[in-house]
A and B are shown apart, each in its own frame.
Chain A
Amino acid sequence: MDITLPILILAIPISMFLILGIGGVKMSRKTAGVLGILGMGTTLTLAYTVAFTYFFSGDPAFIVDGVRQQLQVFDVTWLAFTDTLVVHLGFLLDPISAMMLVVITTISFMVHLYSWGYMEHEPGFQRYYSFLSLFSFSMLGLVVATNIFQMYIFWELVGVSSYLLIGFFYKLPSAVSASKKAFIVTRFADLGFLIGILLLSFYTDTFNFMELTHNPEGVLASTGGATFMGASVLTWALVLIYVGGMGKSAMMPLHIWLPDAMEGPTPVSALIHAATMVVAGVYLVARMFPVYLMEETALLFITCVGAITAFYAAVVACCQIDIKRILAFSTISQIAFMMVALGVTRPGLHDGMGYMSSMFHLFTHAMFKALLFLGAGALIHAVHSNNYTEMGGLRKYMPITHWTFLIGCLAIAGIWPFAGFFSKDEMLTAMFANNWIWGAWMTMVAGLTAFYMFRMYFMVFWWEENPHYKEHKPHDAPWQMSVPLIFLAAVSCVSGFIPFGELVTWNRLPYHIHIDPQVATTSLIIAAFGIGLAAWLFMKRNHKPAAMKNAMPGLWKAANRRFYWDEFYMFVTHKIIFNIFCRSIAWFDRHVIDATMDGFAKVTQKTSVAVKGMQSGSIQAYVVWYFLGAVAVAAITWICLL
């Protein structure tokens, strides 16, 4: 493949970042917005061209005997530390990276367009667009990485751009602390990632994904059966790499940053904290999947973490009031769903369908979750509050938002024929194939998903009208915001029918999707039950929800406070780490290290005070001292020579 398009896909967003970042202050809002949208639009066109050429051209460079090829469009040496330790930067084209190119550019373009309306009156509009471009560049660089080190570099870059965008309203203390929290938590997780990379590359002598994944047996053999604390070194490396993914993808116990990240502008939440950056962990596992298959312990770890996180986040989402927080926990839960689907994948079970379904869900989830977030943005734009208690009965005032939001909710709940039904059904089938426990557990989570999404839907659009509407009548958003909503809603309606199995599978062979009627019926019934329960409780104003809340105040409060994870972290960091470790270290620093340095300074000072009288200003005194000194030197020399 010609390298012009791949290079431009990366070059346009980064140059947009530089142009808007450096020249933004001189530009009007309109120029900056149009430039950003045009830049992203061009990138979108190029990425679609590349992805569609890859998938549908049938070129023997891309597909040989039905097997889709992995190819490095370019791979240049970036840093050569030694002969063997060399870091490359390149562009890897294979089914999952081509799919991610489509997802990222689509969502990013929609968000660029939407932000033009949403951020219209915010100060720092140009800065916002330059950060969006930086993020798009970093995320595109991450998915096309040819080696794990390049991925790590871009992994950190998306972390930085996420930090910058969460803290966009830098005058709000809550936004500042949320951005710090996100950065520190993910950075902490990336420590595990880095150790994992070093461990893996130490044994295999390579960072390159193709070398690793085309010969996983060789990777296993290269560790030579070394073990550490009862687990093999390869398991350790893979689990540590996955810890990096846990940080970015907000798996328990590193999920605490994602709900707070909702302090950022809503379109940013849609782009980064719902559709693209947070699925980087899933993408990482998918990218290294053949290696993970060598160590089923690591896959079991992924499955367990995912299953627990999915259930936890779903329960918490049932008891939140802030609509963006509900969506944030829903994101955590859905990503955990993908993780479980990856974790249960075995080549022998339905030809590794879990992998395909996980990527399928990544794709559909990106579309409908971005839709839901952008819808939430439109609601917040109209009502000027994040809490559903300030909303209610909005369906008459905001018809476009209402219908698109409903489509998003139906898609995430997994109702036929919306996108979520297909991907979720495939995932559940894969889980049941592995072990019925995973299947049953995740079906329950799917039911909870339907319940909390429709709880929010009914509380926002039905329930009871807020009396404030008479003074300040809410209305649908401007066209820049409505167009992305309608587009994403349309995608959420039809993307389930994409023959995803033909395009993306773990071994890159086509897989023909067929719906398992038993699993599909069960999940549909469960979802319908969740929706029905939500409708019964929240459609009209009544006392049932309050009565339920009062019946179990402890549980409600615990779930509302997210089961006290933040308090637990506060306790560990402030009471234990700060109080015990940091204080003793500070004491040592102050009383030993500083005191030594202070001692040197004091001795010097005392000495100079004592001898400063010698500098009297009297030349004759100096001459006397000089003369005596010269005599002394002469005398000593003479004695020595004798």
Chain B
Amino acid sequence: MDLGILWYLVPSVLMFACGVYGFVTRKNLIAILISLELMLNAADLNFVAFNRYIFPGQMEGMIFTLFAIAIAAAETAIAIAIIINVYRAIGNTDINEIKKLKF
């Protein structure tokens, strides 16, 4: 196997690591949502790359990615709606303010 696939996998890992880092450290809900999208896209990138390099004659990875993009869009819409409602309720979008769901 040539090194071609690495050109896709390395950026994907970097994107995913950035996503995790952002998700854990950001305080703003919007920033967390963006980090989430980053992780999702890293995964999509992997699908496409593996499909292209390991099973070149098939289309499953591509189609799955299309699905994932569509579902991510829907999920983002819901997340945005929740964030708006949280903002209306408490006046900001700080993750540290919404910790009531505990023991």
Closest residue of chain A to B23 (Cβ to Cβ) is A623
Closest residue of chain A to B100 (Cβ to Cβ) is A617
Contact of B102 among A615, A623, A624 (CB under 8 A): A615
Contact of B103 among A615, A618, A619, A620 (CB under 8 A): A615
In the bound complex, residues from chain B placing their C-beta under 8 Å from that of A613 are 103
Q: Is B80 an interface residue (CB 8 A)?
A: no
Contact A616 B23 (CB under 8 A): no
In the bound complex, residues from chain A placing their C-beta under 8 Å from that of B99 are 616-618
Q: Is A627 an interface residue (CB 8 A)?
A: yes
> In the complex, what distance in Å separates the CA atom of A616 from the CA atom of B100?
9
> In the complex, what distance in Å separates the CA atom of A616 from the CA atom of B95?
13
Q: Is A470 an interface residue (CB 8 A)?
A: no
The size of the chain A interface, using a CB distance under 8 A, is: 11
> In the complex, what distance in Å separates the CA atom of A482 from the CA atom of B46?
105
A224 to chain B: closest CB distance in Å?
71
Contacts of A585-642 to chain B: CB distance below 8 A? 612-613, 615-620, 623-624, 627
Most buried by B among A612, A618, A624: A618
Contact B102 A627 (CB under 8 A): no
Closest residue of chain B to A614 (Cβ to Cβ) is B103
Contact B102 A616 (CB under 8 A): yes
Q: Is B101 an interface residue (CB 8 A)?
A: yes
In the bound complex, residues from chain A placing their C-beta under 8 Å from that of B96 are 618
**A627-B95 CB under 8 A given contacts A616-B102, A617-B101:** no
- Chain B 66-94, CB-CB to A under 8 Å as 1, else 0, gives 00000000000000000000000000000
Q: Is B20 an interface residue (CB 8 A)?
A: yes
Closest residue of chain B to A608 (Cβ to Cβ) is B103
Contact A627 B20 (CB under 8 A): yes
Q: Is B54 an interface residue (CB 8 A)?
A: no
> In the complex, what distance in Å separates the CA atom of A616 from the CA atom of B102?
5
Contact B103 A623 (CB under 8 A): no
In the bound complex, residues from chain B placing their C-beta under 8 Å from that of A615 are 102-103
> In the complex, what distance in Å separates the CA atom of A604 from the CA atom of B95?
32
In the bound complex, residues from chain B placing their C-beta under 8 Å from that of A624 are 24
B38 to chain A: closest CB distance in Å?
14
In the bound complex, residues from chain A placing their C-beta under 8 Å from that of B100 are 617
> In the complex, what distance in Å separates the CA atom of A612 from the CA atom of B102?
9
B3 to chain A: closest CB distance in Å?
22
A630 to chain B: closest CB distance in Å?
10
Most buried by A among B32, B99, B101, B103: B103
B90 to chain A: closest CB distance in Å?
14
Most buried by B among A615, A619, A627: A619
Contact B102 A617 (CB under 8 A): yes
Contact A620 B23 (CB under 8 A): yes
> In the complex, what distance in Å separates the CA atom of A627 from the CA atom of B96?
20
Contact of A612 among B23, B24, B101, B103 (CB under 8 A): B103
> In the complex, what distance in Å separates the CA atom of A273 from the CA atom of B8?
99
> In the complex, what distance in Å separates the CA atom of A612 from the CA atom of B103?
7
> In the complex, what distance in Å separates the CA atom of A624 from the CA atom of B25?
10
Contact A623 B24 (CB under 8 A): yes
Contact A619 B95 (CB under 8 A): yes
Contact of A620 among B95, B101, B102 (CB under 8 A): B95
> In the complex, what distance in Å separates the CA atom of A617 from the CA atom of B103?
8
In the bound complex, residues from chain A placing their C-beta under 8 Å from that of B25 are 620
Contacts of B14-51 to chain A: CB distance below 8 A? 20, 23-25, 32
Contact of B24 among A616, A617, A620 (CB under 8 A): A620
B42 to chain A: closest CB distance in Å?
14
> In the complex, what distance in Å separates the CA atom of A623 from the CA atom of B32?
12
In the bound complex, residues from chain A placing their C-beta under 8 Å from that of B102 are 615-617
> In the complex, what distance in Å separates the CA atom of A616 from the CA atom of B99?
7
> In the complex, what distance in Å separates the CA atom of A127 from the CA atom of B78?
67
> In the complex, what distance in Å separates the CA atom of A7 from the CA atom of B62?
81
> In the complex, what distance in Å separates the CA atom of A574 from the CA atom of B103?
51
Most buried by B among A612, A620, A624: A620
In the bound complex, residues from chain A placing their C-beta under 8 Å from that of B101 are 617
> In the complex, what distance in Å separates the CA atom of A623 from the CA atom of B23?
8
Closest residue of chain A to B101 (Cβ to Cβ) is A617
B87 to chain A: closest CB distance in Å?
17
B97 to chain A: closest CB distance in Å?
11
In the bound complex, residues from chain B placing their C-beta under 8 Å from that of A617 are 98-102
B63 to chain A: closest CB distance in Å?
26
Closest residue of chain A to B29 (Cβ to Cβ) is A619
In the bound complex, residues from chain B placing their C-beta under 8 Å from that of A623 are 20, 23-24
> In the complex, what distance in Å separates the CA atom of A420 from the CA atom of B53?
114
Closest residue of chain B to A616 (Cβ to Cβ) is B102
In the bound complex, residues from chain A placing their C-beta under 8 Å from that of B20 are 623, 627
Closest residue of chain B to A609 (Cβ to Cβ) is B103
In the bound complex, residues from chain B placing their C-beta under 8 Å from that of A612 are 103
In the bound complex, residues from chain B placing their C-beta under 8 Å from that of A627 are 20, 24
B16 to chain A: closest CB distance in Å?
11
Apart from A615-B102, A620-B32: 11 A-B pairs, beta carbons within 8 A? A612-B103, A617-B99, A617-B102, A618-B95, A618-B96, A620-B23, A620-B24, A620-B25, A620-B95, A623-B23, A624-B24
Chain A to chain B contacts (Cβ below 8 Å), 17 pairs:
A613-B103, A615-B102, A615-B103, A616-B99, A617-B99, A617-B100, A617-B102, A618-B95, A618-B96, A618-B99, A619-B95, A620-B23, A620-B24, A620-B32, A620-B95, A623-B20, A627-B20
Q: Nearest 6 pairs between A and B by C-beta? A: A617-B102, A617-B99, A612-B103, A615-B103, A617-B101, A620-B24
